[in-house]
Every structure is written in structure tokens, then in C-alpha cells.
């Protein structure tokens, strides 16, 4: 708790949204027609950035290839050309949000807003009713979406949870009921890990976060051994941990969780080594670690941002140097502007391997490339040449059935495939080994209908 105000300048948080695009100094050098395109994309996909990102992370002299600009600002290629052409006349004509909304919603609903069965498959039932704000896909781990944590200090353009932030209430996961989470966990003692996620839980004031964390420390939940918090705040607003008004209270809360015997892990999203370079982020990571919390780092492989082996190797080395643990390289999910950001699995494996070969054993805690797909987390283990041909070697890191985990299986090599459902089973098989059981786990249509009624009534 001592001496945290290092010799770097704190900032007062200022957010910029779609309506501020013409006011952002760095964008004012762009032609109006180009800014109109940014506005059009920002009508469909969420846009929010802040003064720290704008002033300290983006190189405004090289916007065409600046990774942080690509990571945080709308890009024309994120929408299909026809969709962009439908929207631009409305934007340039000064149409109101009400007038643009029918076009915007039709585009959004075609972008697979909830991939991997999140709504139909992942929301559990308790006493016969769907439990809003909770996902329970894997036996040991429950995800919890606190209502007050369903925004971020800045939005990533690749975000697979973009549907949380575009104002469609029945697409949101959220609940304000911490008691519901505690009750569910008491009845499910197979759960050992709780992941507080969003959005970004670190957007919440500490007193609100405390209301969600303290019940997890009670003796009746002694089977909960790990609490994870998914966050991009160290990269996008490091002052949350050092200079915000309740930063000291936040550090005390972290210390209390650790003192209660829980493993506290911040699942920090770092997408590029530049996010790790500023004095502000270095001070934040140091202070978080001083509480006893562990920082694990993860990000997807994103074209235009980090699709380069040297970038990943540099990022993993810097994470280790600052006491963090490289954890995951994800494959960009099949939602939103996937076509703009996706990298073929074959190239993804090559990038991962080349980066992995550059780092020491301390950084080789990282796993990837990993797809968070409908049946589970599927890792691309390698490419193998057999007499029958060339194949991807895959395995489950996590699965809807725990019996699938760590079982290697093969898929036909396809240099263009970008997701699990692009792949075909090896040797002419009709289906992968897990597919029959996966089909048996599919929610019934009546359950899905009931689920949508529950979410529509209870989502905050």
C-alpha cells in the first residue's frame, strides 16, 4: 500500500465515443469522408476509447499500420462493402439514430452476436429456471457477469463480446444479484474457479466489486479455491490500480481475497507489447502483484495488430520481465468483424511456433493457438505428414465433456481454414469423435424458448 504514486503523471479519465469522432485531435487530420466511414462502422460495432490510449499508446503519424489504432478505432474493412454502402448515405445525410437503427440492427444480427452457443448452451438452470448473468460451460469453472461491469475503459475492435455493448438488451449477459451466484455455487460443489467477467469488472467502483467478491470468501464456499477477474484495465487504464480515488481500496480488497486463502488471478488482456511499455502500466502491474494476486496474460491473434511472431515473442518476454505469466494465444472468434481480423489456423500455428521458439521456458507457460468453440477449447497442436496426407493435430484443453480433454485427434489440413467448423475429420470419417455426444447435449428447442423468455425478463 506504500509509495504507489510513482514519477509518472496520472490522468483524469476521459472517454471518447462515436459522437466524439470529430473532436479527437488525432482524427481531425483525416478527411471528413474518412471520418464518416469511421462513424458508420461505429454505429454497428461498439466504439469507446480514452485519453490514455489516445495520448500514450497510438502513434498518430503512422495510422495506416499503427497496431493500437487498429485495435481501438473502427476500420472500413470491419463491415462488408454492401453494408457500409447502406449506412454511409444515412451518416452523411445527418440521419438520427432512430432513422439508422433498422439498418444497423439488420447488420448486427447477421454478425453472429453470440458465438459458440453462449446463450443456448452455456447458461445453466437452477430449480428449473435459467440463471441470468452466469455461464457454466466447463465443470470446474463458472463465469459471472456483474451488471455494473458490462462496459470497458476502451473497446477492442475485435471483441467477441461486442453484442454486450450495442444496446440490444436481450443480447446481454448480466445480473446484479450476487446472492444468486453464491446460491448457485453452494449447490454446485464441483466448481472450483469463478471468473468475474464482462465487459470489464475493473470498470466498477471497489465498493461494488466488493459486493460480488466477499460472498465468495465465506466458509460455505470453501470449494471455491480460485477467483479470476478478466480485465483489459492494466493496458487501457492502468491508473485504476494506482491513482483512481478508490485504487487503495481496490488493493486492500485484493489482499483480503488472498488472505482468505483464495488464489486471485487477474486475467489481463495484452494484445501488443506497446501496451506493456509505459511507466503507468509498469507501476500498475507491480502494485497488483504486491497484493499477492497473480497476473496471467492472454490475447487473440489479430490480423493488422499482432499477426507476427516477433511481436508475440517480445510481448511474452516483457510479460515475464514484469512478473506476469503468459497464458493463452486465442484464435479470433467467429463473430463480429471476424473476416477483417481472422488468421488461418495454419498460419496461426506457424506464428505461435516461431514465437515460442524465441523465448525461454518461463514464457512457455503460454498455450495456443486455441479456439473457444462450441464443444470446448480446442488447441492446434501441430501439423503432421502421414502416408495418407497432411493433417492438423488438435486436442481439447477444456471440453463440455471432461472426458474429451487432452485427447489428440486429426483433421484434414486446410490452409484456408480459420475455425473448427471449417475443418473436416481425417481419413474420410463422417464426424469428429466428440460430435455424437455433443449432439446429445444440445438444448431442446423448448428449453431454448424458455431460456429466451427468462433472459428477456431478467437481464439487467
Q: What is the pLDDT of residues 115-129, one digit of tens each?
A: 544 455 566 766 667
Contacts of 446 (CB under 8 A, 6+ apart): none
> 257 with 320, same domain?
yes
- The CATH number given to whatever domain includes residue 408 is 3.20.20.70
Set of cell numbers at residue 214: 466477499
| Radius of gyration of the chain measured on its C-alpha atoms | 22
Phi, psi of 397 (to 5 degrees): -85, -35
> 311 with 166, same domain?
yes
Domain presence at residue 97: yes
> 352 with 445, same domain?
yes
> 371 with 253, same domain?
yes
Domain presence at residue 7: no
Which CA distances in Å does 310 have to 271, 313, 352? Answer: 13, 5, 10
> 57 with 176, same domain?
no
> 147 with 291, same domain?
yes
> 246 with 175, same domain?
yes
Domain presence at residue 149: yes
> 154 with 96, same domain?
no
Residue 335 region, left (φ>0) first, then alpha (ψ -120 to 50), else beta? beta
For residue 334, give the nearest of 266, 407, 423 by alpha carbon.
423
For residue 147, give the nearest of 211, 218, 216 by alpha carbon.
211
Per-residue pLDDT 10s for the chain (460 aa) are: 333 333 456 789 999 999 999 999 899 999 999 999 999 999 988 899 999 999 999 999 998 889 999 999 999 998 999 999 999 999 999 888 889 899 988 888 888 765 544 455 566 766 667 777 888 989 999 999 998 888 899 999 988 776 666 565 555 554 656 778 888 999 999 999 999 998 899 999 999 999 999 999 999 999 999 999 999 999 999 999 999 999 999 999 999 999 999 999 999 999 999 999 999 999 999 999 999 999 999 999 999 999 999 999 999 999 999 999 999 999 988 777 888 999 999 999 999 999 999 999 999 999 999 999 999 999 999 999 999 999 999 999 999 999 999 999 999 999 999 999 999 999 999 999 999 999 988 775 444 433 323 222 222 2
> 165 with 303, same domain?
yes
Q: pLDDT digits over 74-123, tens only? A: 999 989 999 999 999 999 998 888 898 999 888 888 887 655 444 555 66
Domain presence at residue 54: yes
> 308 with 328, same domain?
yes
Domain presence at residue 396: yes
> 160 with 294, same domain?
yes
Work out the burial of residue 237: count CB atoms within 10 Å of its CB; fewer than 13 is exposed, 13-18 middle, 19 or more buried.
buried
Set of cell numbers at residue 52: 490514455
Burial of 342-380, coded b for 16+ CB within 10 Å and e otherwise, reads bbbbbbbbebbbebbeebeeebebbbbbbbbbbbbbbbb
How many structural domains comprise the chain?
2
Contact (CB, 8 A) for 209 and 253: yes
For residue 399, give the nearest of 421, 425, 378 by alpha carbon.
378
Work out the burial of residue 319: count CB atoms within 10 Å of its CB; fewer than 13 is exposed, 13-18 middle, 19 or more buried.
buried
Show which of 64, 87, 109 is a domain's final residue.
109
Measured N-to-C along each axis, helices 247-259 and 206-213 cross at an angle, to the nearest 10 degrees, of 20
Domain presence at residue 3: no
Show which of 87, 109, 131 is a domain's final residue.
109
For position 408, what pLDDT does the model report?
95
Show which of 58, 83, 109 is a domain's final residue.
109
Q: How far is residue 322's CA from residue 304's CA, in Å, rounded to a whole number?
A: 26
Which CA distances in Å does 113 have to 109, 254, 300, 337? Answer: 6, 33, 18, 10
Set of cell numbers at residue 34: 474518412
Domain presence at residue 179: yes
Range of the domain at 94: 15-109
Contact (CB, 8 A) for 241 and 203: no
Domain presence at residue 9: no
The set of long-range contacts for 12-16, using a CB threshold of 8 Å and a minimum separation of 24, is 12/51, 13/50, 13/51, 13/52, 13/153, 13/237, 13/239, 13/244, 14/50, 14/51, 15/48, 15/49, 15/50, 15/153, 15/154, 16/48, 16/49, 16/50, 16/51, 16/54
Tell if the pTM clears 0.85, that is, is over it.
yes
> 39 with 122, same domain?
no
Amino acid at each position: 500500500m506504500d509509495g504507489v504514486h510513482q514519477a509518472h503523471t496520472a490522468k483524469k479519465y476521459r472517454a471518447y465515443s462515436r459522437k466524439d469522432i470529430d473532436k479527437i485531435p488525432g482524427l481531425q487530420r483525416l478527411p471528413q469522408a474518412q471520418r464518416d466511414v469511421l462513424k458508420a462502422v461505429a454505429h454497428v460495432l461498439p466504439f469507446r476509447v480514452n485519453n490514455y490510449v489516445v495520448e500514450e499508446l497510438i502513434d498518430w503519424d503512422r495510422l495506416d499500420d499503427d497496431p493500437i489504432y487498429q485495435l481501438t478505432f473502427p476500420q472500413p474493412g470491419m463491415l462488408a462493402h454492401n453494408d457500409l454502402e447502406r449506412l454511409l448515405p444515412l451518416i452523411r445525410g445527418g440521419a438520427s439514430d432512430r432513422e439508422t437503427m433498422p439498418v444497423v440492427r439488420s447488420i448486427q444480427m447477421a454478425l453472429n452476436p453470440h458465438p459458440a452457443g453462449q446463450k443456448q448452451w452455456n447458461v445453466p438452470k437452477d430449480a428449473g429456471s435459467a440463471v441470468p448473468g452466469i455461464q457454466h460451460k466447463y465443470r470446474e469453472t463458472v463465469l459471472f457477469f456483474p451488471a455494473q461491469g458490462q462496459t470497458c475503459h476502451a473497446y477492442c475492435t475485435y471483441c467477441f463480446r461486442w453484442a454486450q455493448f450495442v444496446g440490444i438488451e436481450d443480447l446481454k449477459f448480466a445480473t446484479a444479484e450476487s446472492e444468486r451466484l453464491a446460491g448457485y455455487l453452494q449447490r454446485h460443489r464441483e466448481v472450483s474457479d469463478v471468473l468475474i467477467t464482462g465487459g470489464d469488472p475493473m470498470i466498477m467502483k471497489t465498493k461494488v466489486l466488493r459486493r460480488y467478491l466477499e460472498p465468495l470468501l465465506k466458509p460455505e464456499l470453501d470449494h471455491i479455491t480460485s477467483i479470476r477477474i478478466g480485465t483489459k484495465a492494466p493496458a487501457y487504464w492502468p491508473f485504476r490500480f494506482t491513482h483512481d480515488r478508490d485504487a487503495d481500496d481496490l488493493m486492500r480488497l485484493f489482499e483480503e481475497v488472498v488472505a482468505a486463502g483464495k488464489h486471485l488471478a487477474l486475467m489481463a488482456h495484452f494484445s501488443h507489447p506497446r501496451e506493456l511499455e509505459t511507466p503507468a502500466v509498469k507501476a500498475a502491474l507491480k502494485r497488483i502483484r504486491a497484493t499477492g494476486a497473480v497476473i496471467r496474460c492472454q490475447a487473440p491473434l489479430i490480423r493488422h495488430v499482432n499477426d507476427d511472431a516477433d511481436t508475440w515473442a517480445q510481448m511474452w518476454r516483457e510479460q515475464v520481465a514484469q512478473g506476469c505469466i503468459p497464458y493463452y494465444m486465442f484464435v479470433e472468434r467467429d463473430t463480429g468483424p471476424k473476416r477483417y481480423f481472422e488468421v488461418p489456423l495454419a498460419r496461426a500455428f506457424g506464428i505461435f511456433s516461431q514465437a515460442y521458439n524465441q523465448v525461454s521456458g518461463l514464457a512457455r507457460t503460454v498455450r495456443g493457438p486455441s479456439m473457444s468453440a462450441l464443444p470446448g477449447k480446442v488447441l492446434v497442436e501441430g501439423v503432421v505428414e502421414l502416408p495418407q496426407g497432411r493433417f492438423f493435430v488438435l486436442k481439447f484443453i477444456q471440453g463440455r465433456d471432461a472426458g474429451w480433454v487432452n485427447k489428440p485427434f486429426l483433421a484434414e489440413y486446410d490452409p484456408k481454414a480459420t475455425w473448427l467448423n471449417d475443418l473436416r475429420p481425417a481419413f474420410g470419417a463422417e464426424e469428429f469423435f466428440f460430435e455424437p455426444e455433443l449432439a446429445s447435449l444440445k438444448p431442446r428447442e423448448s428449453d431454448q424458448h424458455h431460456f429466451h423468455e427468462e433472459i428477456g425478463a431478467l437481464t439487467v
